[in-house]
Each structure stands twice: as C-alpha cells, then as structure tokens.
C-alpha cells in the first residue's frame, strides 16, 4: 500500500547505512513499525512511509521522484549521477544535509605481492569495481590507462580469481582487504551519508513535514559533535 500524500523516504534495507539512518529517524520522533521482508514500512505517528531498498537503488529512486527523500552514501550518489549524466537520464536532486555517519573511502587496493610504486603501477592493469564511473573519472583525471572490470559484488576476490590485477572498493575498517590478502594503494574518494530530496517542489503538506524534521536532524547531529 502506498499513499502519495505521505512523505516517502528511501532507506537502505540492510548494510552500513541502515541502522544509523533508522536510529536517526527514531531520534527525530518518527515511530516506525518495521516488519521483516516488507519493502514498505509505515510510520505510526507521522504521514511517512519508508521504502526499504538496496542502497544502489536509492539515488535513482530520488532522481526519478519515486521517493521524496533518501538517506544515501555520497559514493553511491556520485556514481549514479555520473552514470545517468553519461546516459542523458535525469540526475537532479537536492542536498538537504550532510550527515555524520557512514564514513568510508573508495580506494584502489592490490594483492600483498603487488609492488605498488605510484599510479604508473596501474598502467595497462585491470581493476575490478562496483564503482566504474568514479574509477574511470579518477583514472582519466590522472592520465592512467587501466581497464575497469565491472562486478556487482565479491570484488575483493577478483585478483585471486584472476579476473583483475587490482580492485577499487569501499574500505572502512580495512578488515575485508586484510582478509583477502590485499592492501590499500591509494584512496580516490571519501564518503559519508547524506540526506537528499527529489528535485522540484514538494506538495505543501510534505514540505511542512520536512521543515519540521530538518531542524530536528540538525539538533541530533549537533548533539553528537
């Protein structure tokens, strides 16, 4: 059931942003009844519905106006924007707030036995990634001729599997790299969570709701500093 008069917020269903985003919603007074396996969760005290989806889908849902707001990592947002711009598809959104959680970095990492001596070490190499746009932009800006290999998951096993020479993936604690015999060669993008809104004006009742929620988000974020 969806109701177009209710503010629709896209949140990652499971992953590095979901817990903190749900905690933030709770902290600003949005009561939710979330049941497993359901894509939609209704707020029990405010006209708000949550769309619980894969993080990769959130920027597109907001850019297409299907969700009014979305909590998303800057890495996914920037990747989707570049992808849509290249395809001449709608890529507009409004940045409401940069948040203080979900910090991670997108880095190029190489197997422990790889002798990294600087960017020239990537010349002619294959780099597996889920973020081909961000990687391509970085390689172009730095005049490196390497080939991105697009994988939607398990990027960290690509070198061992002989699919690529290096990887370009998110790192936060570094545990995944270490567990897979890889080390970070260079960081190419830093990311935190942001709250975005669809382009164009919201319906009046939705705008009023956003106007009451935003100061509360600012309050929660300031209290954390």
Please compute Rg for the chain using Cα positions.
Answer: 19
Least distance to ligand PRP, CB of residue 51, Å: 17
57 lines the binding site for Zn ion (CB under 5 A)? no
Of 93-101, 168-176, 203-211, 217-225: span binding ligand PRP (CB under 6 A) = 168-176
Q: Which residues pair with 72 in a beta bridge?
A: 194
Which one of residues 172, 190, 207, 218 is an interface residue with ligand PRP (CB under 6 A)? 172
Least distance to Zn ion, CB of residue 72, Å: 10
Among ligand PRP, Zn ion, none, residue 90 binds (CB under 5-8 Å by kind):
none
Which one of residues 175, 200, 201, 204 is an interface residue with ligand PRP (CB under 6 A)? 175
Of 29-37, 95-103, 118-126, 166-174: span binding ligand PRP (CB under 6 A) = 166-174
In the complex with Zn ion, the residue whose CB is nearer, 55 or 165, is 55
- Closest residue by Cα to residue 97 from 44, 28, 45: 28
- Closest residue by Cα to residue 185 from 95, 119, 86: 119
Dihedral pair phi/psi, residue 183, rounded to 5°? -135, 155
The answer to whether the beta carbons of residues 77 and 154 sit under 8 Å apart is no
User: Per the structure block, which two tokens stand in for 152?
Assistant: 């939607």
Task: Scan for tokens 């997108």, then name that residue.
Answer: 106
18 lines the binding site for ligand PRP (CB under 6 A)? no
| Helix or strand (DSSP H, E) at 20 | helix 18-27
- Closest residue by Cα to residue 195 from 5, 11, 54: 11
Which one of residues 22, 51, 52, 55 is an interface residue with Zn ion (CB under 5 A)? 55
Among ligand PRP, Zn ion, none, residue 174 binds (CB under 5-8 Å by kind):
ligand PRP
157 lines the binding site for ligand PRP (CB under 6 A)? no
Q: What is the DSSP string of 99-152?
A: -S---EEEEEEEETT----SGGGGTT-EEEES-HHHHHHHHHHTT---EEEE-S
137 lines the binding site for ligand PRP (CB under 6 A)? no
| Helix or strand (DSSP H, E) at 4 | none
Among ligand PRP, Zn ion, none, residue 172 binds (CB under 5-8 Å by kind):
ligand PRP
Contact footprint for Zn ion (CB under 5 A): 55-56
Contact footprint for ligand PRP (CB under 6 A): 15-16, 169-176
């Amino acid at each position: 059931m969806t109701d177009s008069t209710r503010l629709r917020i896209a949140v990652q269903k499971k992953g590095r942003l979901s817990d903190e985003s749900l905690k933030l919603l709770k902290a600003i007074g949005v009561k939710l009844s979330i049941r497993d396996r359901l894509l939609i969760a209704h707020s029990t005290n405010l006209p708000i519905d949550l769309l619980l989806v894969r993080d990769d889908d959130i920027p597109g849902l907001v850019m297409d106006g299907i969700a009014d707001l979305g909590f998303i990592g800057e890495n996914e947002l920037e990747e989707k924007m570049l992808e849509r711009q290249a395809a001449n598809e709608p890529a507009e959104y409004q940045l409401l707030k940069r948040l203080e959680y979900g910090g991670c970095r997108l880095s190029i990492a190489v197997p422990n036995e790889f002798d990294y001596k600087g960017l020239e070490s990537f010349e002619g190499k294959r780099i597996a990634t889920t973020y081909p746009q961000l990687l391509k932009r970085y390689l172009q800006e730095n005049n490196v001729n390497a080939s991105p290999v697009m994988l939607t998951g398990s990027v960290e096993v690509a070198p061992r599997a002989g699919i690529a020479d290096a990887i370009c993936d998110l790192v936060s604690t570094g545990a995944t790299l270490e567990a897979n015999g890889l080390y970070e060669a260079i960081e190419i993008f830093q990311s935190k969570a942001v709250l975005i809104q669809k382009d164009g004006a919201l319906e009046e009742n939705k705008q009023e709701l956003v106007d009451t929620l935003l100061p509360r988000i600012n309050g929660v974020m300031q209290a954390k500093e």
